Amino acid sequence: MKQQQRTPLVQFDNIPGSLPAGGVPQDADLKSIAQDAVTKLNHLQQSDLASYATWRDLLSLTGTYRTFYSAATVHRTWTFLSQRSRRSIIWLKEDREPRIAHGGAGIMWVDVDVLFTVQHENLAEECMGTVSVTQGEDGNWKIWMMRTWLECFDGRGHPDVIEPATAPTNGTTNGVEPQVYGAIVVGGGQAGLATGGRLHALGVPYVILEKHTSVGDVWMQRYDSLRLHTSKEYGNLPFGHSYPPEDEYMLPAKRIGAGQKQWAEKYGINVQTGTTVENAQYDEGSKQWTVTVLRSHGAKETLRAKNLVIAIGGGHNTPVYPSWATNDKVKASGFKGALMHAFGGYKSADAWAGKRGIVIGTANTGHDIAEDMANAGMQTTIVQRSPTFVFPAEWLHAAEDRHYHAEKAPDVADREDFTYPNKVQREVINNHVWAGIKASPDRFDALEKAGFLLDRYGDTYNHLYVRFGGHYVDIGASARIAKGEIKVRTTPVKGLTEDGLLFDDGTELGADLIVLCTGFNHVFRNDVARIVGTEIAEQMDEFWGTDAGGELRGHAKPAGHPNLYYHGGDVRMARFFSRFLALQIQADVLGRPFVPYLD
């Protein structure tokens, strides 16, 4: 069996990249600085770059997602790829003024938006970028960061531009389903819908296959108190603002589900619900996938496509159970209460009002459910297994609101805020967050006094991109813990008793309800194997975690198989990377697949 070489996981501390040390003088002539930056880019010399220069490219020149570090590497690679790709001259984006950006700790630089084209035979790419310049100790301005990305193919539509459907076309051509789709998207959640919407905008024949009976049902079936901890503007689907001003700032799960359904209907997205994918097989001769599906009415059908996108909630399909909470252990213990996983049956604490509740786990879900129990008047205890990074929601919202708000299109905000190299963005965020933590010791001291194990100076990007979670965006439960309304136990659990939990120190804690908030098995390849088979799945790279350049492994790009893609992530990542995923599929359908630059 052929096995793909797995990309090693690299911790952020071992990835190059740093922020500049300087600021921007108050009398700086930003327009002159911008023009000078463009002149440098068009005739780039290594001396034009800061020694710690960084360049991130999203498809435009590299054909994939790459980040390069150091003046020598950036200069060499930029020069080579510009020639190979027949890059045009760089020119200023006239409708975007140069602006001062802030990296925290007094660090500032100037951002300049630019445009250029790339020519591949008869297919031209329209590209955009942002070049960031900083003033050195000698007073000279140098380029320290470059961000470039593919916008669209000239004359072939745009992944951000679509008109609302005037009739239920469902992405078909004249109402007729194609014999071979450009892509089949498995999963109709945020990532699947966003990808389908982008393909729809680009005119690529596609279909989304969703096992639930209605778009948005996956949100409808989760626990009742679930809501986004991020802002609603951060969580928009493509093509504008998905949720009206009257909606809550942190959207409840049911409103998210309803909003997704409304969005799909608005744009005539081709989603076939009540459809379970049984298997998918790839034929090397025809370069096509044959996908066998089971409809809700019991009929089996086969569909064909050039590309297959697996968007079934990467790494969030198989709940993890502690060794003491397996079915056999629960049965042997004689536990008389109810035990369930947060994503395996729990809906609400109301049926246990006034009784004893235990939550295992202290990430976002654990805190949500502990607060739900407390709100129901339960005697609530949260069992903590390791120190937890707690991030106040109001800080997160203030950061999000700078870019994501009703007056700015989400795709514009994405270009400004989400094209940064991950290592650079990590440094910016840590500067701001750690300064806030240092200035606000009381709220964190109160948690520790209540017995909560705190990873006070945690690393946001490490939790998001390496650990796949494990933190808490505090929307209110921390105050309940500090007040003693939610108790904390940190002793390891030994097992179950008839009445509750037995801890390693011999103490017991009674419970009528135990909810496991212990996460998921994040090996997405296992979930994909159920669809494409073990042989193809073993060819695929790891999903998630950072590579040596800080890019996510195996995400939204061919990951070991040229026509098979993973897609997932949080709501913003699903929206942003769906545009590049759709462009890769469009290029394949147009007969000009991307050839990644892999030095």
| pLDDT band, residue 100 (cuts 50/70/90) | very high
Return the DSSP state at 210.
Answer: -
Whether 464 and 382 have beta carbons less than 8 Å apart is answered as: no
Q: Residue 383 belongs to what H/E stretch?
A: strand 379-383
Task: Say what the pLDDT of residue 314 is.
Answer: 67
Task: Say what the pLDDT of residue 176 is.
Answer: 65
Whether 395 and 472 have beta carbons less than 8 Å apart is answered as: no
**Cα angle at 499 between 447 and 448, to 5 degrees?**
10
Topology (CATH level 3) of domain 12-153: Nuclear Transport Factor 2; Chain: A, (3.10.450)
Question: Rounded to 5, what percent of the chain is helix, strand, coil?
Answer: 30, 25, 45
Is the pLDDT assigned to residue 337 strictly greater than 90? yes
323-516 and 181-316+524-589 share a CATH fold: yes
> Measured between alpha carbons, how far is 184 from 193 in angstroms, rounded to an integer?
12
Task: Say what the pLDDT of residue 165 is.
Answer: 81
Single out the residue of 417, 459, 398, 430 nearest to residue 19, CA to CA. Answer: 430
Tokens read off for 154: 């000239």
The rounded percent of the chain whose pLDDT value lies above 90 is 84
Tokens read off for 214: 């209605």
Whether 513 and 369 have beta carbons less than 8 Å apart is answered as: no
Is the pLDDT assigned to residue 171 strictly greater than 80? no
Whether 396 and 402 have beta carbons less than 8 Å apart is answered as: no
DSSP result, 448-498: HHTT--B-TT--HHHHHHTSS---EEESSHHHHHHTTSEEEE-SPEEEE-S
Whether 150 and 583 have beta carbons less than 8 Å apart is answered as: yes
Is the pLDDT assigned to residue 317 strictly greater than 80? no
> Measured between alpha carbons, how far is 518 from 366 in angstroms, rounded to an integer?
8
pTM for the model:
0.95
> Measured between alpha carbons, how far is 197 from 216 in angstroms, rounded to an integer?
15
Go through the chain and tell me how many residues it has: 599
Whether 419 and 147 have beta carbons less than 8 Å apart is answered as: yes
Please count the other Cβ atoms lying within 10 Å of the Cβ belonging to residue 202: 24
Q: Residue 169 belongs to what H/E stretch?
A: none
Mean model confidence pLDDT for the chain: 93
The mean pLDDT of 580-591, rounded to a whole number, is 96
SS3 of residue 162 by DSSP: coil
Q: Are strands 564-566 and 379-383 parallel, antiparallel or unpaired?
A: unpaired
Task: Say what the pLDDT of residue 173 is.
Answer: 45
The rounded percent of the chain whose pLDDT value lies above 70 is 97
The mean pLDDT of 132-143, rounded to a whole number, is 90
pLDDT digits (tens, 9 = 90+) for 281-307: 999 999 999 999 999 888 999 999 999
Task: Say what the pLDDT of residue 4 is.
Answer: 66
> Measured between alpha carbons, how far is 199 from 581 in angstroms, rounded to an integer?
9
The mean pLDDT of 520-546, rounded to a whole number, is 88
Tokens read off for 329: 């252990």
Whether 123 and 592 have beta carbons less than 8 Å apart is answered as: yes
Place of tokens 């008389």: 336
> Measured between alpha carbons, how far is 160 from 579 in angstroms, rounded to an integer?
7
Place of tokens 């034929």: 283
Tokens read off for 489: 């136990």
| pLDDT band, residue 84 (cuts 50/70/90) | very high
The mean pLDDT of 551-555, rounded to a whole number, is 94
In CATH, which of 3.50.50.60, 3.40.50.410, 3.30.2130.10, 3.10.20.30 is domain 323-516?
3.50.50.60
pLDDT digits (tens, 9 = 90+) for 430-483: 999 999 999 999 999 999 999 999 999 999 999 999 888 889 999 999 999 999
Tokens read off for 191: 């990532």
Question: CB-side exposure of 421: number of CA atoms within 13 Å?
Answer: 28
The residues spanned by each domain of the chain are 12-153, 181-316+524-589, 323-516
> Measured between alpha carbons, how far is 350 from 101 in angstroms, rounded to an integer?
48
Report CA Rg, the chain.
25
Is the pLDDT assigned to residue 172 strictly greater than 70? no
Q: Cα 452 to the chain's mean position, in Å?
A: 28
| pLDDT band, residue 320 (cuts 50/70/90) | confident
User: Which of 462-471, 520-529, 575-584 has the highest mean predicted lDDT (pLDDT)?
Assistant: 575-584
Question: CB-side exposure of 382: number of CA atoms within 13 Å?
Answer: 35
The CATH class given to the 181-316+524-589 domain equals alpha beta
